[in-house]
Structure 1
Amino acid sequence: MADHNDFGKEAEEKAVRHLKSSGYEILAQNYYYRKAEIDILAFKNNTLIVVEVKARKNAYFGNPEQAVNKKKIRLLMEAVNNYIDLNDLDAEVRFDIIAILRQKEGFYVNHIEDAFYFF
């Protein structure tokens, strides 16, 4: 596996550990629907949380969370709607980003709750 794939997998594992330590129940990882992928689906306080994990080895091209664009948001919406329909869920939905940045002393994890909204 390429180094960037290993780094992305490691970042997702760090995000899952962060969520679990914060009391989230992990429902699914790498949920695919058509061309969309949801990195993590979690549940807490009767809320379904859609988590997009973005990681960077440095901030040279900006912070990781800046890479979530309108197209990605639209794809996440389609995928979560499919997940809700398939699982017959009745819960609030929240969209979070977990941005992970590698630093000399380790990794910086920034959990951004309610990162964006969809109407």
Structure 2
Amino acid sequence: MAAKDDLGRAGEERAVAYLRGRGYDVLDRNWRCPAGEIDIVAAKAGVLRVIEVKTRTSLRFGHPFEALDDRKVRRLWRLAHAWIDAHPEKAGRYRVRLEAVGIIGPDPRNGMLEHLVDLR
């Protein structure tokens, strides 16, 4: 389990660096509430972006985005609204969008990174 946790943390670090490099303002990371956890909350161009990060060492068990089924997307929307309710001072002026970053490779620091900008 520790190796999986380390892989996930390294993937999130890479995702944050990638997003910041593209002008995203990271507002929160690993935010938790009773309903679950949001990996990254960021803002850019008037849009509040709730970003799920999926890191895999290979495609052996499928592409990282395949884990983002309808149930997971609905959960992310609930979490987005919970974050907004908990942070009205940060969230009040934004539209909201779900996004995902997928990283594939044995080392997340240099694995293939894909960014899905509008997760529906």
TM-score greater than 0.5 by the shorter chain: yes
**Structure 1 residue ranges, 4+ long, deviating more than 4 angstroms after superposition:** none
Q: Share of identical aligned residues, percent?
A: 34
- Trace 1:1-119 onto structure 2 (pairs within 5 A): 2-88=2-88, 89-102=92-105, 106-116=110-120
In 1, are the aligned partners of 2:56 and 2:106 still within 8 Å (CA)?
no
Greater relative CO (CA pairs within 8 A, separation 6+): 2
Shift, 1:62, TM fit: 1.3
The amino acid across from 1:5 in the alignment is: D
Shift, 1:103, TM fit: 5.7
Number of matched pairs: 115
2 CA distance for matches of 1:85 and 1:99? 27
Under a length normalisation based on structure 1, what TM-score does the superposition of the two structures give? 0.89
Moved more, 26-35 or 42-51: 26-35
The amino acid across from 1:97 in the alignment is: A
The amino acid across from 1:8 in the alignment is: G
1 CA distance for matches of 2:39 and 2:22? 17
2 CA distance for matches of 1:5 and 1:46? 32
Gap runs ≥5 in structure 2 = none
In 2, are the aligned partners of 1:36 and 1:78 still within 8 Å (CA)?
no
Partner of 2:4, secondary structure, is helix
